[in-house]
Amino acid sequence: MENNPKPYLDTPFKQDVYKGLSDFPKHLSSKYLYDANGDKIFQAIMNLPEYYLTNSEFSILQENKEEICTLFAENTPAFNLIELGAGDAKKTKILLAHLNSINANFKYLPIDLSENALKQLESSLAEDFPNIHVAPKCGSYIDALETVAFSKNNKNIILFLGSNIGNMLISQAISFLKKIKRLMHKNDILFLGCDLKKDPQLILNAYSDTSGITASFNKNILKRINTELQGNFNVESFMHWEAYDPESGTAKSYLVSQKPQQVTIAAINLKVHFKAWETIHTEISQKYDHEMIQQLSEEAGLKIVSKFGDKQDYFQNYLLIK
Ligand code: AVI
């Protein structure tokens, strides 16, 4: 940080935690939920009965893999399959298996913030698909996208699955899509997974499961501050709280202090006071309807050319071009 009056704020994590916990209302970015422990808890979330998103998108890909893969592979001798936020690529493996079975000529480039997730993915892909060329890239989505071999000669297919776009505010999603559009060439495709507005109770349940796994995922951010920034959060004195607004389609996660307390975070020289029931906002999970996606794409300058839904109308995958 240039001209930093606080030299101990020497990493983005430290700067963001300092800023977020000094603001009112307090907030922390959901990108910090994912360390090795957070990755593991998120895998468990994806297997929760309440977390319908994974199964919905899984069934869409399973049922439409032939058509989707044909659209990916048409009009090009070879293509790059670039995935933003690949994680364990559980759903992507449906497409990889099908592309492999039709001998498609492609390279898979998974991008993820988590080095740990990418290492595990690389070894599981080597086992499942030894003949697929895999080139993982660690980093934030746009930074990594800018550095991967975006081929001018072959088509680039960008996968952004799992409602990852939902973890951005709508305004952030538009500017993010605009950045992707700028990197795309004429023939390139963005394949986007969006969670849809539905029975508000189902959405609420997906983010406040009865086994408490989502609560431990949310609280992991405090544990991370404790271990990485020498904090002394009493994690159990915070409760996980989810709120869903069916009008805007925004689900918001909070950590709520159940008593007045003071927390010290030594590495950033910060003392944080919490009143009883004061909140830290940690994540948004935006739900869309078709008109909202249409508008989002138009504002980003992208065109929807195909869409694929599940039987229950819970989730939608969109194929976009520039
Ligand atoms: C990664 N992302 C799409 C998840 C979601 O549904 O917003 C993260 C998550 N947070 C709580 N449960 C799942």
Q: What is the 3-state secondary structure (H, E, C) of 285-312?
A: EECECHHHHHHHHHHHCCEEEEEEECCC
**pLDDT for res 201:** 98
- What are the 10-residue block averages of pLDDT along the chain, 322 residues in total? 78 97 98 93 96 98 98 94 94 97 96 89 96 93 82 86 97 97 93 98 98 98 98 98 98 98 98 98 98 98 98 98 96
Atom 1 in ligand 1: residue holding the nearest Cα: 164
118 CA from centroid of ligand 1 (Å): 18
Helix H or strand E segment including 289? none
**Residues 139-159: tens digit of each pLDDT:** 889 988 888 766 677 899 999
285 CA from centroid of ligand 1 (Å): 6
0.80 exceeded by pTM: yes
DSSP 8-state secondary structure symbol assigned to residue 268: G
User: How far apart are alpha carbons 97 and 106 in whole angstroms?
Assistant: 12
**Reported ipTM exceeds the 0.85 cut:** yes
Cβ burial of 171 (10 Å; 0-12, 13-18, 19+) is exposed
What's the gap between Cα 254 and its chain centre?
18
Residue type, 75: N
Ligand 1 within 6 A of CB of 164 = yes
User: How far apart are alpha carbons 22 and 316 in whole angstroms?
Assistant: 38
